[in-house]
Amino acid sequence: MFSRSLPKIEDERKKKPRLLFFVTEDWYFCSHRLPLAIAATQSGYDVTVVTRVREHGKRIMAHGLKLVPIELSRHGMNLFADLPVIMNLIRIYRVEKPDLVHHVGMKPVLYGSFAARLARVPAIVNAFAGLGYLYVSTTLRAQMARRLIELLLRWLLRYQATRVIVQNPDDMQRLKNAGVCTAQSGVLIRGAGVDLTLYAPRPELAGLPLVILVSRMLWDKGVGEFVAAAEQLRASKIAARFALVGETDRGNRRAVPTAQLQAWKDSGRVEWWGRQDDMPRIYADCHIVCLPTYYGEGIPKVLLEAAACGRPIVTTDVPGCREVVSHEDNGLIVPPRSADALAQALRRMIEDVELRRRMGKRGREIAEADFSVEKVVRETLAVYRQLLAE
């Protein structure tokens, strides 16, 4: 009886369109793309995930997704050193035979698009979760690397059945200007969305106002400016707590060293909580969310989560952040790299309870209207259907 059912099961699998995700890290997939993959399976797709597996492999497979481990690093890009990775990726694509691949991030877009073309994958979605450090750095090295990457992208993404997803209009315009995408191939989908049920408003707790910065601990996420602003406010006798929430990013040249984070914590300048898994509770415990980034953001997920939780936001005037936060509406926007402006905005928010409540309420309204995970899933599945119909 069991053996007779196998051909039927295999026939049913063959009938389903095969979707393959390629992202660098399993934690990132779970945080940003798992709801989309689950919705795709519910819509009739046979879903495979190719990623570096560390702590979240079982969680991915628990949702009925096929998991194919691959070893690669998010940091740096060396085509010659990564040639074995690319060759392995070509092999995976040929074995899995996806009808559609969805690459997320610069390295998966580059390596995955190359592999997809050689493996003759019919349809390709390339999603940029922000353009990253290369597009904000003014160093000669970054400028040269940017030109080379754009040259490769123009060649790789010049493929009829391809869509390029970006998260904010600034990135869209920049890629169009560079010839990487066109009005036909470019699609704007604003972020990864937020679960409005999981991330829900809670009343402020009594006690000292708590300001948190949630991020990977990178200098260009504004960590240094946050600490400097906290020091200014403490010197001015402003009663508040300041906490860094997140791990450093080992191997990243822009990472804040663990020793520095520990030194700040030991000196009492700021609290450092490291990685936290129960983020809804963290937002419930805080009063203000701060992200003084000058990194090449897409749309920071932390800002979506903060807005959904009804927390006022202080952030910088950079692409992605200003897609979520409107100045004087659901938060305050300050110039990037300015600890003084950041301190002034935080002081105002700390001292004005009614301002925080008003802005927090407005943030929830914006999250409900524009940034639900259901909206992002609908828009992305529509891209899949359009590509597969071509």
Q: Which amino acid is at 219?
A: W
Q: CA angle at residue 90 from 152 to 104, to 5 degrees?
A: 55
pLDDT in tens, 88-107: 999 999 999 999 999 999 99
Which domains are present in the chain? 2-193+372-389 (3.40.50.2000), 210-370 (3.40.50.2000)
| CA 335 – CA 213 distance, rounded (Å) | 17
Using CB atoms within 10 Å of the CB of residue 225, give its burial: 0 to 12 exposed, 13 to 18 middle, 19+ buried: buried
| DSSP notation for 173-217 | HHHHHTTS--TTTEEE--SS-B-TTTS---PPPSSS-EEEEES-B
Q: State residue 75's pLDDT score.
A: 61
Q: Which two tokens stand for residue 203?
A: 């009343």
pTM of the complete model beyond 0.95: no
| pLDDT of the residue at 304 | 98
* Best CA proximity match to 367, nearest among 188, 190, 187, 213: 190
Q: Tens of pLDDT along 277-329? A: 999 999 999 999 999 999 989 999 999 999 999 999 999 999 999 999 999 99
**Tens of pLDDT along 185-197?**
999 999 999 999 9
327 versus 72: the higher-pLDDT residue is: 327
Of 31, 28, 75, 35, nearest to 50 by C-alpha is: 28
Mean residue pLDDT of the chain comes to 92
Strand pairing category for 210-214 and 288-291? parallel
Tokens 């914006």, located at residue: 366
What per-residue confidence (pLDDT) applies to 172?
94
- Over residues 215-226, mean pLDDT: 96
What are the structure tokens assigned to 145, written together?
A: 């690397």
Q: Percent of the chain at pLDDT above 70?
A: 95
